[in-house]
Structure 1
Amino acid sequence: MQGTGFGGLLRRHRREAGLSQEALAELAGLSVDAIAALERGRRRAPRAHTLRLLADALRLSGPDRAKLTATARRDTEAARPPMRQAPVPTNEVIGRATELAATKRLLGEHLTRLLTLTGPGGVGKTRLTIALAAALSDRFDDGLCWVPLATIADPAAVTPAIAASVGLHSAENSRLVEDIAERIGRRHVLLVIDNCSHVVATVGQVCNALLEYCPNLSILASSRELLRVPGESVYVVPALALPYDEDQLESSAAVQLFVERATARGYDPTGQIDHVARVVRRLEGMPLAIELAAARTNVMTIEELASELETSFGILSGGSRTASPRQQSMYGAIEWSHDLLTPAEREVFAQLSVFVGGWTLSAAATVMSGQDSPGPLERAEALDLTGRLADKSLIRVIRRSGVARYYMLAVIREFASDRLAAAGMADEAARRHAHFYISLVEEAESHLRGADQGEWLERLDRELDNLRAAMAWSLRTRSVSEALRLAGGLWLFCYLRGHYAEGSQWLERALTLADSVPGSDMAGLAPAYAKASLGAGMLAFLQCEYDAATERLQRALAQYRDLDDAAGTALVLQRLGGVARERGDYESAEDLHCQSFDLYESLGDRSGMAWAHNHLGFVAWLRGDLELGARRCRQARDSFKELGDGEGIAWALISLGTIAQYSGELVEAEDLLQESLALSQRLGYREGVAWSLNQLGIVERRRGLTERAVHLLDESLAEHRDLGDRWRSASVLEELATVAQQRGRGEYAAFLLGAADAVREVIGAPVPEVEKPDHTATRQAVEQSLDHRAFRAAWSAGRAAPLAAVADGYPPPSADQPDRTGRLST
């Protein structure tokens, strides 16, 4: 018989009160067996409620009541089985210092009592949870308890699993949550619940109850879906940091993880970090995907691995045999999340895979509803289902400039796309997708000139991948109307953003498709056909394909005249004037621009009139009439400012800066050109950037600052070359030749002059009149500095060198002789 402990103390108080076990049981409302079990030590963990009943029945004073409670707690602690501890990591946690610091602060400083680590499958939630639990082990006086739920399939088994982890084994399931709460009591405990996505509703209910009952309890949960419990704080676990430039390759956490895991497999990739970077970028920094890819280095080179991943993520399997099935492949990880979706969520998840590079709510509502203009109900449904998928970590939300945009990780999108195809919905979803973006492009057209230009250019920038997908669909399905409307609607965007070659390809393929269709099927498409012809001519002109440009523009001119479309006619005349201008036919160019001006004036089109003034000024200064050019360009600038046309303002500033430069007003020229450069960079207007750099380089060369001039001209040449503008590339090469001659680099100057001459011969564009004095002076100086044979050799080498090779940058001072590739030997 026990004389100490809770049982002995209870027996003493009962006897002092003169009560039998039966009498005490009756007064306390308990069974006689319960009293006997407590006194004999068979039951050593009385509930707090039981303690109160006993103390009241025994009429204990405050000190005696406290002593009885304390004794019961000591006995309970002594009898309590230990709580389940967190597993020990099997390898180092890589690249999670920031995440650990942020989450440790939230829980360690008690800023939140419930923290849910969420994110898609494979992002590393469990690994971060284990690391965080280890880091917090000394912050909770009464320890932590690990509750793994990955293998729990039945929601009814959740509470018993939590009870078992806290060391409680009770057969009375009806009060199991209360038993757990009493078990934890007022202790400072961290309860860690891992992998609860599939039983999230039950986990949320239990956590809510425990947080109410246990004032010093904190809970850390990992789940692909939020618990949605009052007071819940959410931390979205990000993918690992990717290398964004060459200097970050080895310091990137994603690269480090791949290298560590591949090395563990017996393959050292440290000499192929650039290929490793390509792999991890494709995998978007997802830890599980990176580990699965690294596992394939036992049978593949990293180059082969990178190439395979460009087409499919199917090789991402073969994980650890001890891992759960959903961690042995990326497919399994995503499928597990997919299986938890409702039928409606699965359908939407599949449909959203049609988007490339993200989407907006309006785009989602259109694809989901099939309506060109979804109403409030359709938008509300799209918002609800999108929100559900975001909460389940299958899509990501990014908020920029006051707009929410949604994304799928590439590996998730591939899975969803497979589901879309399997359901036979791919063609219809792609059709809806294309129609939404056609409507967007047609709406954007009217805003690409004027005060809203920058906003709409950025909007189309964000949708570029979707626009490409829509264009590909329209061409693949031979949807003539959609192809013409989309390609024709995008030509101005392609011009402003420098997508000359890509836009040309779209337009030419759309026009070829239209030409293959019988005329009777083209009814109603004449305006779209004319616009596409205009765009094709314009982009061909920008790439100095003057014959092709003239053919397309002449066809567009006839089409617009047949349509009696004065505005379209005026625009085509303006573009034909540009072709004549670059070919050196200034008289024809001026006549065409005057015709364009007259039409715009008859329409009262202030923007068109401003552009006509700008082009007339451009022609004037190119042929050497600087005064007339300045007058017309100032008039254009003032009109553009009133209209808020950023592109127009940039062009007027370039023209005025160039005129000032050729007039010898270098300070004024620099001010105007720096302003045009800043505006063009802000707008993302690449042609404006290239021209501004070109003219600023000439300003610096005239000042004798040749080093600065080379830097600016090299940048300009790179931009013009990338755009495909060979006319301006030739002028920049000639200006670089002038710099080389001034620096005593005669042979290199001859080489550059030869390269420029070859370009001009190919495109059929002479040196502009305003540039001829400098060009002539440079050639004469170079010829005088070299003997005839040396000059002809360098000149011929330049003519034979591809423009891409010549435009690789000004060579170092030690270079003096061009080799056969156009490079200079050192």
Structure 2
Amino acid sequence: LAPRRLLLVLDNCEHLVAGCAHVVEAVLRRAPGIKVLATSREVLRLPGEVVYAVPPLSLPAGPDGDPAAVLASEAARLFLERAGLVRPPRPLDPQETRAVATIARRLEGIPLAIELAAARARVLALEQIVQRLDDRFRLLRRPARGAVPRQQTLRATMYWSYDLLLPEEQTLLARLAVFAGTFDLEAIEAVCADPQPGNGQGAGVLDLLTSLVDKSLVMVEPSTDVARYRLLDTVCEYCRERLAASDLALLQDRHLRHYTAVAEAAEPHLRGPAQQRWLLRLDREHDNLRAALGWSLRRPEAVGWGLRLAAALWWSWYRRGHYSEGRRWLRALLAGGAGAPAALRLKALYAAAYLAWRQGDMGEAETYSLASVGLAQEHGEPLPLAYALLVRGIVVRAQRRLALARELHERSLALFRQAGHLEGVAWALRMLGIVEWHDGRMEPARARFAEACALLEQIGDGWAVTVCLSDLGHVAAHLGDDETAERLLRRALDRYTTLEDEMGMASAWELLGEVAARQGRFEEADALLDRSLHLYEKLGDRWDIATVHAAIAEAAERRGDVARARAEWTEALRRWRDLADRQGVARSLEGLARLARAAGQAERASALARAAEALRGRAEAPASTEGPLSGTTAAAGGAVRAAIDEVVAAVQADLVPAQNDLPTLTKKPDQR
């Protein structure tokens, strides 16, 4: 070979990697004109070696039901090509196209796994293959004559790769199966390293991890700051089988404690200048945080740790719009964590109340907020009581019990001031501003918002400052100062977009849509309000969904689209009724009354206006009915709904059938 110039190909070097490296090194030293192309799961580690990591086959990137988008992926094309060898090829219907996309994604573009799955298409429908992928090692078998044994089943391939590892490498790889999604070196060292030497991990974790990466068993995810790693699902499933039940329980316990520490380290920073960096850190850990919470619920002795984790995460759930998920975890952990420390349960209770209020579940919001105040009074610490009162005030304000809400927020404000807690002072001021806004007192509302904004600027909470800018824009819009409103709201929208805050973006779009409609820019208004509605629906925010339907109705009124306006006012009425919101229902009835009056239906307009006036005229329960801390419930949601139904039924009885297009309000409330 010495005088020749040629390409020498060595295939599948991994099981003889040392010998292959020795041969290549000798050849290159004696024959400088030779180029070597070696395929291997493990690099040869020779001078001058250039490594090209062969990626998995490309996966479908477009909609799963679009044949062109699915067939643009290499993985889907390979599956269909191999399936065509065992069954007559034919065009795919939309369901089969989605199944092919799912198979390609679930098997992560691994060619052997896809070929083995395609072989099953001879006897299974594509949807059946999808359903059986949860047990992929049983499904993906092909005892074909002439095939290399390790390529006849997916399990044999994994066993062959695993068996080539050193014992310490096998141990670490199996332990990595405890992680979900991606993970970093800090997590590996905290969860997978042996606390004492001599227990099967003689080499350092970093050295072992590097070897597993070199052998293509651990994937490195692109990152600009901290490197992150992951296992392919097939590798993870095989490794999980290798772990003894006792080892898995120990690893899950370490995993839970580590990610609780991560969440608790992040929590103090979620409201300050570094909040975006810490929110992004929690975003990256979302799969592992979810896995840790799940494990905590499966072991009674770990529920207290799970409650700690959920209590530390609740604000990030709110900020990222994970309302439903956060509520599920808090509900389950509060139910199972009755013996947890009072301070921990108190925090979880007001967190659960806040998220329930955000989604319009006033039953849970009422229950949890009252329980949090009661526990805070027993606890005796001013700061926890201040937070409990703050959230309780939000809940009763949503019930339009404004006098009681104002009293609760004033008490909360006094306790925050007493504790010197500037952030709490700012939030209590903001909540008092919202009460003033609902009470129609715009100048006091503006003063409260401005004071809160100044404090939040001092703290460095850029997100909360943006919220206050939006509040001030809302006040300006209500006062008819559309120029100021639009300037403030567009500034807020830009900041919400940068912060990836979906709730803030939805709110800004809604208010900007209202301004655009008032100025006659109806096409722009429709686009903004539609965008807002879709995002609120994604978040499950029932209060604001109703509000946007009302804003769409008002925009339709302005441009003379009577049918759309009537439909949207009717939808808003139904939703506000389900939320037991008298003022919202009254606003809808007033909108329907305007439509009737414009259509020359004087009798109908008068009946609707009387109904709205009756609802607005029902005085809210005085603060003394709750006391405000006695723990009894005034104006329960069911009673308010009954009162609304009574008023609307009276309107319906006064209308002739042709005029009666009000919704039937006897359906079950929407419990999303």
TM-score (norm 2): 0.85
How far apart are the structure 2 equivalents of 1:803 and 1:251?
A: 41
Structure 1 equivalent of residue 369 of structure 2: 553
- CA change 1:646–1:526 in 2 (3 A) is same
Structure 1 equivalent of residue 472 of structure 2: 656
- CA change 1:588–1:711 in 2 (3 A) is same
Which one of the candidate residues 262, 268, 290 is aligned to 2:114? 290
Tell me how far 1:406 sits from its aligned partner: 0.7
Residues matched between the structures, number: 608
Q: Which amino acid aligns with 1:382?
A: V
How far apart are the structure 1 equivalents of 2:150 and 2:292?
A: 34
How far apart are the structure 1 equivalents of 2:214 and 2:346?
A: 47
Which one of the candidate residues 533, 540, 554 is aligned to 1:738? 554
| Contact map agreement 2:514 2:525 (CA 8 A) in 1 | yes
Q: Does 1:501 align with 2:329?
A: no
Which one of the candidate residues 256, 260, 265 is aligned to 1:443? 265
Which one of the candidate residues 416, 422, 426 is aligned to 2:239? 416
Cα deviation code 1:725-760 (max 9, x no counterpart) = 211111111111122333443233222222211221
How far apart are the structure 2 equivalents of 1:748 and 1:696?
A: 20
| Contact map agreement 1:542 1:725 (CA 8 A) in 2 | yes
Structure 1 equivalent of residue 635 of structure 2: none
Tell me how far 1:315 sits from its aligned partner: 0.9
Which one of the candidate residues 228, 231, 243 is aligned to 2:48? 231
Larger Rg: 1
Structure 2 equivalent of residue 208 of structure 1: 25
Q: Which amino acid aligns with 2:333?
A: A
- CA change 1:732–1:627 in 2 (3 A) is same
How far apart are the structure 1 equivalents of 2:456 and 2:265?
A: 22
Cα deviation code 1:390-439 (max 9, x no counterpart) = 11111101232310001000111000111114x74111111111111111
| Contact map agreement 1:262 1:269 (CA 8 A) in 2 | no
How far apart are the structure 2 equivalents of 1:710 and 1:265?
A: 52
- CA change 1:230–1:694 in 2 (3 A) is same
Q: Does 1:594 align with 2:594?
A: no
Q: Does 1:242 align with 2:62?
A: no
Q: Which moved more, 1:228-237 or 1:458-467?
A: 458-467
Tell me how far 1:605 sits from its aligned partner: 1.3
Structure 1 equivalent of residue 285 of structure 2: 463
Structure 2 equivalent of residue 18 of structure 1: none
Q: Does 1:301 align with 2:125?
A: yes
Q: Which moved more, 1:299-308 or 1:338-347?
A: 299-308
SS at match of 1:220: strand
**Higher RCO (CA-CA < 8 Å; seq separation 6+):** 2
How far apart are the structure 2 equivalents of 1:647 and 1:720?
A: 19
Structure 2 equivalent of residue 796 of structure 1: 663
Cα deviation code 1:57-85 (max 9, x no counterpart) = xxxxxxxxxxxxxxxxxxxxxxxxxxxxx
| Contact map agreement 1:690 1:720 (CA 8 A) in 2 | yes
- CA change 1:323–1:495 in 2 (3 A) is same
SS at match of 1:446: helix
SS at match of 2:51: strand
Tell me how far 1:202 sits from its aligned partner: 1.4
Superposed CA RMSD in Å reads 2.6
Q: Which amino acid aligns with 2:184?
A: T
Q: Which amino acid aligns with 2:71?
A: E
How far apart are the structure 2 equivalents of 1:354 and 1:382?
A: 16
Which one of the candidate residues 389, 392, 398 is aligned to 2:221? 398
Cα deviation code 1:576-602 (max 9, x no counterpart) = 121122221222222222211111111
Alignment of 1:8-19 (within 5 A): none
- CA change 1:189–1:782 in 2 (3 A) is farther
| Contact map agreement 1:752 1:798 (CA 8 A) in 2 | no
| Contact map agreement 1:255 1:273 (CA 8 A) in 2 | no
Q: Which moved more, 1:737-746 or 1:541-550?
A: 737-746
Which one of the candidate residues 222, 225, 237 is aligned to 2:39? 222
Tell me how far 1:208 sits from its aligned partner: 1.5
Q: Which amino acid aligns with 1:337?
A: S
Structure 2 equivalent of residue 315 of structure 1: 139
Which one of the candidate residues 412, 429, 444 is aligned to 2:251? 429
- CA change 1:492–1:268 in 2 (3 A) is same
How far apart are the structure 1 equivalents of 2:423 and 2:202?
A: 37
| Contact map agreement 1:269 1:276 (CA 8 A) in 2 | no
How far apart are the structure 2 equivalents of 1:504 and 1:483?
A: 14
Q: Does 1:754 align with 2:565?
A: no
Q: Does 1:352 align with 2:180?
A: no
| Contact map agreement 1:751 1:796 (CA 8 A) in 2 | no
- CA change 1:251–1:801 in 2 (3 A) is farther
How far apart are the structure 2 equivalents of 1:269 and 1:420?
A: 43
Cα deviation code 1:80-117 (max 9, x no counterpart) = xxxxxxxxxxxxxxxxxxxxxxxxxxxxxxxxxxxxxx
TM-score (norm 1): 0.70
How far apart are the structure 1 equivalents of 2:346 and 2:149?
A: 57
How far apart are the structure 2 equivalents of 1:606 and 1:379?
A: 51
How far apart are the structure 2 equivalents of 1:185 and 1:411?
A: 44
SS at match of 1:192: strand
Structure 2 equivalent of residue 382 of structure 1: 205
Structure 2 equivalent of residue 682 of structure 1: 498
Aligned sequence identity (%): 37
SS at match of 1:406: strand
Structure 2 equivalent of residue 780 of structure 1: 594
Structure 1 equivalent of residue 274 of structure 2: 452
- CA change 1:197–1:238 in 2 (3 A) is same
Cα deviation code 1:603-647 (max 9, x no counterpart) = 111111121222222222232222222222122223222322133
How far apart are the structure 1 equivalents of 2:132 and 2:419?
A: 57
How far apart are the structure 2 equivalents of 1:292 and 1:341?
A: 25
Which one of the candidate residues 474, 484, 487 is aligned to 1:668? 484
Structure 2 equivalent of residue 813 of structure 1: none
| Contact map agreement 1:753 1:795 (CA 8 A) in 2 | no
Which one of the candidate residues 13, 35, 47 is aligned to 1:196? 13
- CA change 1:675–1:370 in 2 (3 A) is farther
Alignment of 1:85-100 (within 5 A): none
How far apart are the structure 2 equivalents of 1:309 and 1:370?
A: 33
Structure 2 equivalent of residue 106 of structure 1: none
SS at match of 2:38: strand
SS at match of 2:429: helix
Alignment of 1:467-546 (within 5 A): 467-478=289-300, 479-515=302-338, 522=340, 525-546=341-362
- CA change 1:452–1:379 in 2 (3 A) is farther
How far apart are the structure 2 equivalents of 1:275 and 1:793?
A: 47
Which one of the candidate residues 254, 264, 269 is aligned to 2:75? 254
- CA change 1:471–1:269 in 2 (3 A) is farther
Q: Does 1:626 align with 2:442?
A: yes
| Contact map agreement 1:646 1:683 (CA 8 A) in 2 | no
Cα deviation code 1:116-158 (max 9, x no counterpart) = xxxxxxxxxxxxxxxxxxxxxxxxxxxxxxxxxxxxxxxxxxx
Q: Which residues of structure 1 form unaligned runs of 5+? A: 1-183, 806-826
Q: Which amino acid aligns with 1:439?
A: A
